[in-house]
Structure 1
């Protein structure tokens, strides 16, 4: 199932996350480490919003959603800032402090997301 969205630079990262979570051992590790349901709501350059629901409480899955379901934490940010966050060029705390990242819900669960990206990153560790 594709989680990509036209016009969103974050699509490859979200697909990478979906591919990683398709591996049972990685999904189990992610669920064990986070224990939360997370919604990313991104706004792209043309002003379109799109949300993704990341279940790291039960299933260890991610899906594209039109309306965010009940969740533990929701992250709201620009598509470009999400890409920087996902590839390690931006720090979540700095984005939050500068008002570029809005968090609704459990703040502590939000901090565990960077760990998930690192554990699911297929790039070689140098």
Structure 2
């Protein structure tokens, strides 16, 4: 398995855990695809102003991967600071408040973006402890 974490992006270590949960749990992956029915690009900016992107393929395969080069076609694109993503996945920030304050930018289908939050929470291995 290739790592999804990226040096200098604190929140991305959790993407590896979530990917392994989705890879190991076929029912969760199928539920995620059924729930989202969308392809999503997540772009994060770190404190050094570097950006990296990840692709969540939740129309057919339930795959999550880094984007190198030209991004694939997506239904939704999310843009946020790495520190805000870390707060979001740690339940320290509300996605609606991040969006309303301009810290989370969304291009595309807003309702599809909402479904991604549910998938991230369901795939978070820490919630199963």
**Residues of 2 paired with 1:20 and 1:125: CA distance?**
11
RMSD between aligned residues: 1.4
1:72/1:106 contact within 8 Å kept: yes
**Residues of 2 paired with 1:31 and 1:16: CA distance?**
18
Q: Which residue of 2 aligns with 1:33?
A: 35
TM norm structure 1: 0.94
Q: Which residue of 2 aligns with 1:83?
A: 86
Alpha carbons of structure 1 residues 48 and 124: separation in structure 2 relative to 1, 3 Å: closer
User: Does residue 105 in structure 1 map to residue 108 in structure 2?
Assistant: yes
How far is the alpha carbon of 1:124 from its aligned partner? 4.3
TM norm structure 2: 0.91
Runs of 4 or more consecutive aligned structure 1 residues displaced over 4 Å after TM superposition: none
Where structure 1 has 5 or more consecutive residues not aligned to the other structure, the ranges are none
**Residues of 1 paired with 2:42 and 2:62: CA distance?**
15
- What secondary structure sits across from 1:71 in the alignment? coil
